[in-house]
Structure 1
Amino acid sequence: MAENDSSQEKTEEPTGRKIQKAREEGQIPRSKELGTMTILMSAAVAFLVFGPALGGSLENILKYSFSMTRDEIFDPAMPVLHLGAMAMEAAVALIPFMLILLVASILGNIALGGMLISGKSVMPKFSRINPLEGLKRMFSLKSLMELFKAIAKTLVVGGVGWLILTNAVPNLQDMTKQDAMVSIWHALEIMAWSFLFLASSLILIAMVDIPFQIYDHTKNLKMTKQEVKDEFKDTEGKPEVKRRVRELQYQMTQRRMLQEVPKADVVITNPTHYSVALKYDAKTMDAPVVVAKGVDHMAMKIREIARAHDVELVETPPLTRAIYYHADIDEEIPSGLYLAVAQVLAYVFQLRRFRRGFGKRPGKIPDFDIPSHLRRES
């Protein structure tokens, strides 16, 4: 019983199919801290870059608002025109800033996990309203991590804010001695840099959150050994089915091979264990090709078909073994055996001429020189 329980533990890494299926269902690692940090950092940088332009636009809007003449004030159409002009001024100044924030919000959210559009992720899940599941989530590792991040953000951002305020006190005191407009621009500059430093402090939180989100995502997708086996059966097929398919493929190959034996020029034999059928057409082939080969029962079957179709049988044990082990069906014979096979084919062609009444009966086939790397002992 204990063995059965341990086998159900999710100890196996998720397979590629499991990861892909989870992605299709909207389950991907996401880091809210990375998205928040990216948006705040982008906003701070944009504020530093476009801050002067924003300040200038705000100054123009204020001046324009308080520069209306008496006639313009009593003209019903002028306030609308003034409002439109101020809105245009504000839009021109804010569009670059807002575009940067839009791009940052998109990039910050897809930086971890990539782009994903899935309707399944927004479908209602009744497990989310299950009280027991809710308690499990409250006391889970992820909830503990969220608590840790909240405390860490408070301490880090608060600490950085305290350092910034401490260093800014002398500058704030000097502002009281400056001209009003200079003081305002100086204050905006201090706020912009303070905002950037505060946003930069979130980099530490994001650096901790990103590895945790990847780890938590992988942990949730882990599989039991039985799940891995079941998935393998679904994707690769059941072993018995695959074995049956291989058997059928082998039978089809054997039938096709035996159909080629009558077209062979010669069948060389071992003589009892091996048979190899060879075919050579000088017009279409660069070298003789193996059209069939077999051992034991299949070898006997090849010889039987060869005799039935008057294909010559030649006993050449070393050559037969060498070709059987070094050439597959429909492959050319090894180059080291060209001369030996050429002698066999010459013998067969002379024997055919003799049987048709032309020429003398060929003598005994000479011994073949089989290269040492192609030899196979019986």
Structure 2
Amino acid sequence: MADSDQERTEDATGKRRDDFRKKGQVAQSKEVGTAALMTFSLLLWIFYAKSFWMELDGMVRSVLQMLATFEATSLSAVNLLWSLAGIFAKLLWPVFLLTLVVGFFASFLQVGPLFTLKPFEPDISKFDPIKGMAKFVSKRSAVELIKSLAKVSLIGFVAYRTVANEFDAALTLVGLDLSQTLLFLGKVSYLVLAKTCGIMIVLAVIDFAFSKYEMEQKMKMTKQEVKEEYKDTEGDPQVKGRIRSMQQQAARKRMMAEVPQADVVVTNPTHLSVALKYDRETMDAPTIVAKGGDHLAFRIREIAKENEVPIVENKPVARALYQQEVGEQISEEMFTAVAEILAYVYNLKKR
């Protein structure tokens, strides 16, 4: 059955998540950045408004004074424009800095450290008109449309209710001076923006949760894909089994090659065989050079007989030695028993 015909029921593996991340495909909501920018901009404006208006008032005054003695030449016009640009840059630099910082952290907190150029690589499939049209009728497009309509409707309704609630108070502004009118308008605007920020934060949380869910669904795998990935990363089980079998055969051949140099073979007598070797000059204790059970035990005894290696039957010692690995020195608990066996063998060889 093809992968496309199988249901994606398996959770994404770590490798698949890394592959998606390298391609820049991560759960990220634009609403988070918008909500964060609006909220922090409003907070900045609360503390910066007074300084901003004072700076703006001073700028207007200086421009008016400059225009009183302004001589219209190309050089003076350029100088005036540069002066105005410098003044506006001085007024607006906190807003620009806030936009950069909030935009960076809004993205960083959602996806973490990520730098990839994969989305910018040329892809011919992106120019496919059929796929392009499909995006306009996709589930994501429908969700975006519904979300945009809901956002506009909700914010519009809240703004309307806020202004409507202040309508009676606005009627009392008739006959008041301009400063009080501007103060009232600023208060109403602040209420509208504050409620809008609250709505945007709620929508951002919902949209980010939906983006996470959508990405998890997109990354899900079929059972066949999981098997194929396991083969790619861990290796084909059949191949690994074959390699393991070949390694065992090679190790067994090396082990059998050590039997002719052994000093003694201790048996069970028929089910187990353990070959020991001891060199006083190079070894601290006797070492197991070969061991085996059943057919392998029989083969060890055959090689020992062919090479005149003594074979000693001792069931308890054979069983205890069989528990240790080939190449290991015997444990201290076996020193006495093995020493007696070696003494017996040395006497046989008259050594």
- For normalisation by structure 1, the TM-score amounts to 0.77
Aligned twin of 2:116: 118
Aligned twin of 1:153: 151
Going from structure 1 to structure 2, the CA distance change for 1:277 and 1:355 (only over 3 Å counts) comes to closer
Larger relative contact order (Cα-Cα within 8 Å, sequence gap ≥ 6): 2
What secondary structure does 2:110 align onto? coil
Aligned twin of 2:237: 239
Aligned twin of 1:106: 104
- For normalisation by structure 2, the TM-score amounts to 0.83
Give unmatched runs, 5+ long, in structure 1. Answer: 358-378
Of 324, 328, 340, the residue aligned with 2:325 is 328
What code does the residue aligned with 1:126 have? S
Give unmatched runs, 5+ long, in structure 2. Answer: none
> Hey, what's the Cα distance between the residues in 2 that align with 1:18 and 1:249?
32
Superposed counterparts of 1:11-22, under 5 Å: 11-22=9-20
> Hey, what's the Cα distance between the residues in 2 that align with 1:69 and 1:151?
48
Q: Does 1:55 align with 2:53?
A: yes
1:46 Cα deviation (Å)? Answer: 2.2
> Hey, what's the Cα distance between the residues in 1 that align with 2:280 and 2:90?
82
> Hey, what's the Cα distance between the residues in 1 that align with 2:283 and 2:105?
61
What secondary structure does 1:9 align onto? coil
Question: What is the CA RMSD across the aligned residues, in angstroms?
Answer: 3.4
What code does the residue aligned with 2:128 have? I
> Hey, what's the Cα distance between the residues in 1 that align with 2:168 and 2:327?
91
Aligned twin of 2:70: 73
What code does the residue aligned with 1:100 have? L
> Hey, what's the Cα distance between the residues in 1 that align with 2:47 and 2:260?
86
Superposed counterparts of 1:269-280, under 5 Å: 269-279=267-277
Of 325, 336, 342, the residue aligned with 2:336 is 342
Aligned twin of 2:30: 32
> Hey, what's the Cα distance between the residues in 1 that align with 2:166 and 2:280?
95
Q: Note if contact 1:7-1:226 (Cα within 8 Å) is conserved in structure 2.
A: no
1:246 Cα deviation (Å)? Answer: 0.9
Q: Note if contact 2:163-2:188 (Cα within 8 Å) is conserved in structure 1.
A: no
Of 197, 200, 206, the residue aligned with 2:204 is 206
1:173 Cα deviation (Å)? Answer: 5.0
What secondary structure does 1:27 align onto? coil
What code does the residue aligned with 1:159 have? F
1:264-294 CA-to-partner distances (Å, cap 9, x unmatched) read 4443111111112335577877765433211
> Hey, what's the Cα distance between the residues in 2 that align with 1:186 and 1:288?
99
Aligned twin of 2:256: 258
> Hey, what's the Cα distance between the residues in 2 that align with 1:339 and 1:232?
45
Aligned length: 349
Q: Note if contact 1:29-1:213 (Cα within 8 Å) is conserved in structure 2.
A: yes
